[in-house]
Amino acid sequence: MVSVGIIGGAGYTAGELLRILAGHPQAAVAFVHSTSNAGKAVSAVHRDLLGEIDLRFTDQPTDVDALFLCLGHGLSAGFLQNNGVDRRTKIIDLGNDFRVSPTSCGDRRFAYGLPEAFREQIRAANSVANPGCFATAIQLALLPLAQRRLLRREVHVTAITGSTGAGRSLSETGHFSYRSSNMAIYKPFTHQHLGEIGKTLRAVQGDGVSEISLIPVRGCFARGIFATLYTECDLSGEEARSLYGEFYKPHPFTLVSEEEISLKEVVNTNKCFLHVQKIGSKLLITSAIDNLVKGASGQAVQNMNLMFGLDESAGLKLKPAGF
């Protein structure tokens, strides 16, 4: 069994991580760290875990095999610098500290945790930077084109995210009264995930990667990301579908659908559904993920499985809500 610790245990990604690990056949949660909730039952904060996780929050981490950092963005590096973590402990960071630059902390160097692009590097790593949720949905939509060096023209992206993508802390745009029956764009063309997207695509394609123009949208639902991307492309529709199908054949969680996809088909799962079609001279790619699972905690567990030589799908055979 892999012993697991979670730092920053009160947030959405930690809660989702606990739900997944509760059913993992080869991992056991040793502690859940939270300075503000120390001594409180984990199920008092994550109410649906009553009867599933019989632990209390602690502010005293112990040595474990795998440590998940579920802290706010920018806080992971400080935690590692201020707390001695055994060199043998494998780390998966769900924040953005090590996704682009810097990619190291002390003697730890972080591999980028997108298995569909860097599976072998993840297997060999002792520290992994888990990708962002928008970055996951968009990169999975573009990797096959990058591998064939076809990202030469501007890619236009509109991606709608659920309210859980904003985290558990209260904010004006996270309130029910704002989100309900409402939509709004934010950070057009400047979203922080563009840096890691560009870095990955350059690593796969080499130079000459086209501009990615991203319009993020706040959606009036709780979880999931639904992204539509289009670019000028010389491939026929049949060639594009064949390219995507072959590229993702070795990967258990990214699936190319012959039919048009919808968001609910992937919510509560670690899957990414893709649909590819050619309309005129443009290739249209639709990508759907659960932002808390494939976009965060599920992918983190997938990375843990790879790092410890486990079945990549262990603990991740999750059921979507069909209706």
- Domain annotation for the chain: domains and CATH numbers: 2-109 (3.40.50.720), 133-291 (3.30.360.10)
pLDDT of residue 174: 81
pLDDT tens digits along 207-266:
899 999 999 999 999 999 999 999 999 999 999 999 999 999 999 999 999 999 999 999
Helix, strand, or coil (residue 294) = helix
Distance CA 179, CA 222 (A): 9
pTM: 0.96
pLDDT of residue 170: 65
- Which residues, other chains included, contact 239 with Cβ-Cβ below 8 Å and sequence gap of 6+? none
Question: In the predicted model, what is the mean pLDDT of residues 22-35?
Answer: 96
Tell me the HSE value of 93 on the side-chain side, using a 13 A CA sphere.
28
- Which residues, other chains included, contact 312 with Cβ-Cβ below 8 Å and sequence gap of 6+? 115, 252, 302, 305, 306
User: Catalytic residues, which ones?
Assistant: 133
- Number of helices (H), then strands (E), belonging to the chain: the values are 9, 16
| pLDDT reading at 102 higher than 90 | no
pLDDT of residue 242: 98
